[in-house]
Amino acid sequence: MFALAAASMGYRVIAYTDEPDSPVSSVCASTYHGSFDDTNRLKLFAKEAQVVTIEFENIPVEALRVVEEFTHVRPGAMVLHTAQNRLREKTFLSANGYPVVPFKAVNSFEGIQIEQFGIPAVLKSVGFGYDGKGQRVIEAAVETEQAWVSLGEAEAILEKFVPFEKEVSVIGARSPAGEFAAYGPIENQHKNHILDVSIVPGQISDALANEAIALTRSLMDALDVIGLLCVEFFVMQDEKLLMNELAPRPHNSGHYSMEGCPTSQFEQLVRAICGLPLGTTSNHSCAAMVNLMGDLWEHGEPDWAAALAVPHVYLHLYGKRTARPGRKMGHLTACCRTVDEAVTRAKKARELLSRTRA
Ligand code: AMP
């Protein structure tokens, strides 16, 4: 989606991917296929590009450091270094006074003091943290060892399980000149720890919305992010915000912006990294986005025509070859006058996808 946005603005996009059959190849000018530790290939790629960005945060930082020697990398390797490791991320946030869930670093099973924050607690591996990957909720002390073993007995953090009211995200954009724009707060509902529905505008007070945006702006300045930064927040009962996770790239919760805003998050990323003025992020209308997971393919090809017959609904498919349960394959967005109408239409369209064909 980034490649398509950049191409529509006249840029020639070159991708670097370690996937043999990546969907990006069908929508960009050329593809470098190679591993992220192939220094020579990375150098060739870097020399061809005027600016490089990322769409996935679990790329080895060393690969970005190689590329950074030859061209602009936005956001830079330092941002990735902080955001791709839950312990570094939370340590940075708490050391700089940002509100986070109480946490503790854990290096061994014996080091897990399960009663420290009370039960339930959450054990999270420090790496590969997205879509609930690498985390276990511990409901009783006896489950601790199993959780530790299932996360590979590797460096982790123990976190308090917080009974939040809502989850919201803000996607900030920042240019090399320090210009800032924000999408959201977007209200996010998860299913099995994976984003299921995003709603705009998020149903929170103006004061809280402004605070979430101000925190995002301050954090982007502090980390010197050029590009996008998604900040996921827990909204607590006492109207307090806690930061849960950072993603320095276009975010699933911002997909609504493709039809819902004058400038989509993808075009915004192009503008930010190319040093262009940032675009308008206000909503044309209310919007709801629902994810399409691989589970929808369980009984064969979903009924696209049925979903597309719902007015004000837009379909995006990512071109992934294999549908697996839990894999994000695409999304639907409904743009309507009210949030309720948008949610109803988006969910209705998704239901129609899996109806039994006559
Ligand atoms: P994460 O992979 O850290 O973004 O977590 C995925 C989802 O798990 C979050 O969006 C929350 O719904 C839930 N979650 C993560 N950490 C906590 C926590 N400390 N307390 C309660 N729920 C959590």
Domain with CATH 3.30.470.20 in the chain: 166-353
State which ligand 1 atom lies nearest to the alpha carbon of 190: 12
Give the distance (Å) from ligand 1 centre to CA of residue 152: 19
Query: Comparing C-alpha atoms, which of 312, 186, 315 is closest to residue 251?
Result: 186
Task: Determine whether the shortest distance from the Cβ of 191 to ligand 1 is under 6 A.
Answer: no
Q: Is the shortest distance between the CB of 167 and ligand 1 below 6 Å?
A: yes
Apex 341 CA angle, 239 and 327, nearest 5: 75
Q: CATH classification of 102-160 is 3.30.56.10, yes or no?
A: no
Q: Residue with the nearest Cα to atom 9 of ligand 1?
A: 193
Ligand 1 contacts CB of residue 101 (under 6 A): yes
The CATH classification of domain 166-353, taken from the options 3.30.70.1450, 3.30.1330.80, 3.30.470.20, 3.30.70.260? 3.30.470.20
| Euclidean distance between CA atoms 48 and 52, whole angstroms | 10
Distance of CA 131 from the midpoint of ligand 1 (Å): 9
CATH (residue range 2-73): 3.40.50.20
| 245 Cα: distance to centroid of ligand 1 (angstroms) | 8
Burial class of residue 7 (count of CB atoms within 10 Å of its CB; 0-12, 13-18, 19+): middle
Other residues' Cβ atoms within 10 Å of the Cβ of residue 242: 18
Q: Where in the chain is the domain with CATH 3.30.1490.20?
A: 102-160
CA of 195 to the centre of ligand 1 (A): 11
> What is the distance between the alpha carbons of residues 248 and 92, in angstroms, rounded to a whole number?
15
What are the distances in angstroms from CA 170 to CA 177, 188, 250? 20, 11, 11
**283-317: b (≥16 Cβ within 10 Å) or e:** bebbbbbbbbbeebbeeeebbeebbeebebbbebe
The tens-digit pLDDT sequence of the chain (358 residues) is 999 999 999 999 999 999 988 999 999 999 999 999 999 999 999 999 999 999 988 899 999 999 999 999 999 999 999 999 999 999 999 999 999 999 999 999 988 888 889 999 999 999 875 566 788 999 988 899 999 999 888 899 999 999 999 999 999 999 999 999 999 999 999 998 899 999 999 999 999 999 999 999 999 999 999 999 999 999 999 999 999 999 999 999 999 999 999 999 999 999 999 999 999 999 989 999 999 999 999 989 999 999 999 999 999 999 999 999 999 999 999 999 999 999 999 999 999 998 755 4
